[in-house]
Structure 1
Amino acid sequence: MNELQITELNGQRVLTTQQIADGYGTTNKVISNNFNNNRTRFEEGKHFVLLVGEYLKEFLHSQNLGTQNKIRKLYLWTEKGALLHAKSLGTDEAWDMYDILVDTYFKVQEEKQAPLTLDQQIAAIATGYGSVKEELVEVKDRVSDLEENAPLSAGEYNYIGSRINQRVAEVARGYGKITREQRGKLFKDINQGVKVVTGVSTRTQLRAKHFDTVVDFTNNWEPSTATKMQLRQMSFDFEA
Structure 2
Amino acid sequence: MNELQITELNGQRVLTTQQIADGYGAKTRTIVDNFNNNRNRFEEGKHFILLEGEYLRVFKRENENFGFAQNINKLYLWTEKGALLHAKSLGTDEAWDMYDILVDTYFKVQEEKQVPLTLDQQIAAIATGYGSVKDELVEVKDRVSDLEENAPLSAGEYNYIGSRINQRVAEVARGYGKITREQRGKLFKDINQGVKVVTGVSTRTQLRAKHFDTVVDFTNNWEPSTATKMQLRQMSFDFEA
TM bucket, shorter chain: 0.7 to 0.9
Offset at residue 119 of structure 1 (A): 26
Task: For 1:115 and 1:204, locate their aligned partners in 2 and report how far apart those are by CA, in whole Å.
Answer: 23
Task: For 1:164 and 1:200, locate their aligned partners in 2 and report how far apart those are by CA, in whole Å.
Answer: 16
Q: When the two structures are aligned, how many residues end up with a matched partner?
A: 239
Matching residue of 2:105 = 104
Offset at residue 66 of structure 1 (A): 7.0
Matching residue of 1:47 = 47
Q: Where does the alignment leave 5 or more consecutive residues of structure 2 unmatched?
A: none
**Local SS of the residue matching 2:112:** coil
Matching residue of 2:63 = 62
- Name which one, 1 or 2, has greater alpha-carbon Rg: 1
1:69–1:110 CA distance, 2 compared to 1 (3 A): closer
Q: Which moved more, 1:179-188 or 1:127-136?
A: 127-136
C-alpha RMSD of matched pairs (Å): 4.5
Deviations 1:61-112 (A, max 9, x none): 3454577313222110000000001111111111111111111111146779
Q: Where does the alignment leave 5 or more consecutive residues of structure 1 unmatched?
A: none
Matches within 5 A, 1:1-240: 1-59=1-59, 61-62=62-63, 64-65=65-66, 68-108=69-109, 130-240=131-241
Task: For 1:119 and 1:219, locate their aligned partners in 2 and report how far apart those are by CA, in whole Å.
Answer: 39
Offset at residue 166 of structure 1 (A): 1.6
1:189–1:90 CA distance, 2 compared to 1 (3 A): same
- TM-score, length-scaled by structure 2: 0.87
Deviations 1:157-215 (A, max 9, x none): 12111211121122112212211211111111001111111111221221110001001
Offset at residue 138 of structure 1 (A): 3.0
- TM-score, length-scaled by structure 1: 0.88
Contact 2:127–2:133 (8 Å) recurs in 1: no
1:141–1:232 CA distance, 2 compared to 1 (3 A): same
Identity fraction in percent: 90
Contact 1:45–1:155 (8 Å) recurs in 2: yes
Q: Which moved more, 1:130-139 or 1:144-153?
A: 130-139
